[in-house]
Structure formats: structure tokens, C-alpha cells
């Protein structure tokens, strides 16, 4: 499904969840692509990893080429999904994926409300830039190869999730 209204308060995704075209119980995963065409410094990713309470040793292990770095904000209660993301990437794609698990998830994009519906969710993000959401955010700032590679990963991930022999688990305590 596709929608708009994210910048106006996640309007489209909230509408979809309130008026789904298929039963929510039949949605096995949500893959969100938002700002997936920029390169970001490795140091920026490491600094952000600190906010996810990664240890210094885990942060020191974060490596990668800025042209291949991809942050994957994954719903913490869905460990199978996180593992499938990493497996799909390593098998077919080869991006430098940095999984950042949390719940509740960051509330800044459309994945947010899907996670609250206990739908395994990922928010793929390559980083912003100082011109994002301004008239200065022009096409010359886009890494088109990276954008295409992230879209390919999302497609293969969706296919892989649908083809799993068992449904992706949601393991939140108290639910």
C-alpha cells in the first residue's frame, strides 16, 4: 500500500490502519522507506546508535562505506524480522545495514503506528541532509544507485517475509 501525508502528521498511514483494505491480522510486516537516497557519515550513525543504548563495543563495530550505509529501525519485539532483514541483505544485496531495535519505535515516520498494532516493522533510512525539506533539496543530492539498492532490499525482504514458512513473531512482554 502507498499513501501520503507523512509530513502532515502520519495522516495516510493512520487512515490506512483505521480503514484497512485487508484485515490487519493478515499483514505480516510493514516496510517503510523514508529518505533512502542520501549518504551519511559513519560518525553520525555511531552517535545515533548511542541513543539506542548500544554498548561502546557494539558501536565500535559499526563500520561501513557512507555510500552503502543503511539504518534499519526495527520493532524490538520482532527478532525474526530483524534476523530476516540481515539475512536478506547479506544474501542478495550487500549494503552496510545497521539494525537499531526499539519499542516503542521512533515516531517520526509511517512505521510508528504499525508497530503499535503488533505488526513487525522496519523503517529504512539512509540519513538526511542539511537541505532536506527545503527548496535546496535538489536531485543532485540523491545517490540514485543507493536508492535503487534500498528499494531492491525492501522488495526482496517483503517477498522473503511472505515466503517464510512461519509467521514473523511478535514477542512483547505482557501482550
Give the pLDDT confidence of 123-143 residue by residue, as tens digits: 999 987 788 888 998 999 899
**Distance from C-alpha of 46 to C-alpha of 43, rounded to nearest angstrom:** 5
Give strand pairing partners of 96.
69
The per-residue pLDDT for range 18-45, each reduced to its tens digit, is 999 999 999 999 999 988 999 988 999 9
The dihedral through the CA atoms of 146, 147, 148, 149 has a sign that is positive
**Distance from C-alpha of 67 to C-alpha of 64, rounded to nearest angstrom:** 8
Lowest mean pLDDT: which of 13-27, 95-109, 113-127, 158-172?
95-109
In contact, 139 and 67? CB cutoff 8 Å:
no
Give strand pairing partners of 122.
31, 74
- Please state the pTM of the whole predicted model: 0.91
**Distance from C-alpha of 23 to C-alpha of 150, rounded to nearest angstrom:** 28
The Cβ of residue 164 has, within 10 Å, a number of other Cβ atoms equal to 13
Residue 162: CA count within 13 A, CB half-sphere = 10
pLDDT of residue 175: 47
Average model confidence (pLDDT) across the chain: 89
Amino acid at each position: 500500500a502507498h499513501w501520503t501525508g507523512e509530513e502532515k502528521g502520519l495522516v495516510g498511514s493512520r487512515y490506512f490502519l483505521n480503514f484497512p483494505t485487508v484485515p490487519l491480522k493478515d499483514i505480516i510486516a510493514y516496510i517503510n522507506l523514508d529518505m533512502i537516497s542520501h549518504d551519511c557519515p559513519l560518525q553520525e550513525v555511531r552517535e545515533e546508535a548511542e541513543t539506542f543504548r548500544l554498548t561502546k563495543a557494539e558501536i565500535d563495530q559499526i563500520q561501513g562505506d557512507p555510500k552503502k550505509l543503511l539504518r534499519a529501525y526495527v520493532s524490538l519485539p520482532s527478532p525474526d524480522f530483524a534476523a530476516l532483514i540481515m539475512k536478506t541483505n547479506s544474501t542478495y544485496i550487500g549494503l552496510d545495514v545497521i539494525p537499531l531495535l526499539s519499542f516503542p519505535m521512533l515516531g517520526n515516520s509511517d512505521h510508528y503506528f504499525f508497530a503499535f498494532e503488533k505488526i513487525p516493522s522496519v523503517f529504512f533510512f539512509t540519513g538526511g541532509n542539511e537541505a532536506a525539506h527545503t527548496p535546496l533539496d535538489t536531485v543532485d543530492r540523491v545517490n540514485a544507485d543507493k536508492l535503487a539498492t534500498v528499494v531492491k532490499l525492501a522488495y526482496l525482504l517483503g517477498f522473503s517475509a511472505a515466503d517464510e514458512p512461519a509467521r514473523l513473531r511478535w514477542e512483547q512482554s505482557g501482550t
